Amino acid sequence: MKELVIKHFDHGASQYSRHALIQKEIALKLLKDTVRCVSDTQKNTDSDSNFLFKRCLDLGCGPGVNYSELKQYAEYVVGADLSPVMVEEALKLNIPGTKSFVADMEQLQSVPEITGYTYDFIFSSLAMQWCNITTVLNQITGIKKYREYQTVALSLPLCGTLPELRSALKNIGAGDRTYQFTDFEHVCTAARKILGSNINVSKHTFTDKHSNIKSYLEAIRSIGANTTSQHHSLSKSQYSDLMLYLQGQLTEHGYLSHTYPVVFIYGTI
C-alpha cells in the first residue's frame, strides 16, 4: 500500500500546493487550536528567542505546504515525508530555519535526523491516515527526550470523508473506489491510551466548494482519496456517466462540494 501512496504523491508533488486549499485550512485551524491550548504554559525557555517552540517536526510535510505557518511558532521546522519528490519540492522553498528529508513516520526511532535532536513540537496534518495509527503514536512518544513536556498537533480524515463522491459513484453503479479512512472511536481510544488521558481529541467537519468539475476532481486526487489497494480505473462509459452526473449536480446547485470529517489530536504529552 505504501508503494501506491509514494507513487501517487510523487506524481502529484509539483501541483499539490496549488490544489491543497482545504488541507491548508485544516492545518491552520489545528495549529491555532494547539497554540491557544498550550501557549500560556509552554513558552520555550531553552533560548532567548520569542518562539513558542524550539524545534518542530512536521510529519508528512509534503512540499512544505505548512512551513510558513509553523515557522511563526517554531524556531526550526524539520519536515519528513515518505515521498522523495515531495521532499524535493519542500527543499525548493529555501525557507530559513527549515530542513526536509525522506522518512517513514512508522519508523521514526531509526532515523538519525530525528533521534539526534530533541523536538518539543510534533505536527502532522492529514498524513497519518496512510499508516498504522497506533504504531505512529508509539513512535512519537518514543522520540520524546529529556523534557518535561512535548506538544503534539495531529489531524486525520475520518470514515465518511467525501460522501458526495461516494454518492456520485453509487449513482453511476461504479461502487466505492475511495480510500476507507478510520473511525473516530478508534483514533480517540488509541490517542488517549498512548498519549495520555489529558490529550484533546475533537471532531470537526470541513467543506470546500468547487465551481467546475476539473477542480473538484483535482482536489480529490491531491489528498490521495482515490488511492486504494484494490483501485481500478473507471471504464470510459463509467467516466462519461460520472461527468454527466457531476454536471447535473453543478447545474442544480451551482457548485460541487467535498465534505471532510476530521479528528484533531493536540495538547501536551
Under 8 Å between Cβ of 74 and 55: yes
What pLDDT score was predicted for residue 144?
82
- What is the per-residue pLDDT for 221? 74
Digitized pLDDT (tens) for each residue of the chain, 269 residues in all: 566 666 555 555 656 767 678 899 999 999 999 999 998 666 655 555 689 999 999 999 999 999 999 999 999 999 999 999 999 999 999 999 999 999 999 999 998 888 888 899 999 999 999 899 999 999 999 988 755 679 999 999 999 999 999 999 999 998 877 778 999 999 999 999 999 998 999 999 999 999 999 999 888 776 665 555 445 678 999 999 999 999 999 999 999 999 999 999 999 98
Predicted structure pTM score: 0.90
pLDDT at 20: 78
- Residue 133, C-alpha cell as written in the block: 495509527
**Residue 72, amino acid:** Q
Contact 77, 58 (CB under 8 A): yes
Give the pLDDT of residue 29. Answer: 98
- Here the cell at position 89 is 519540492
Report residue 171 as a C-alpha cell: 449513482
Domain boundaries, the chain: 2-160+180-211+257-268
Q: Sort strands 53-59 and 121-125 into parallel, antiparallel or unpaired.
A: parallel
Question: Helix, strand, or coil here: 42?
Answer: coil
Given the candidates 3.40.50.300, 1.10.40.50, 3.30.70.2190, 3.40.50.150, the CATH classification of the domain at 2-160+180-211+257-268 is 3.40.50.150
Query: Using CA atoms, how far apart are residues 119 and 56, in angstroms rounded to an integer?
Result: 6
A 10 A CB-CB count for 83 gives 24
Q: Which residues contact 6 (CB under 8 A, 6 or more apart)?
A: 82, 83, 84
What single-letter amino acid sits at 46?
Answer: D
Q: What's the pLDDT score for residue 229?
A: 45
Torsion of CA 195, 109, 228, 189, to 10 degrees: -10
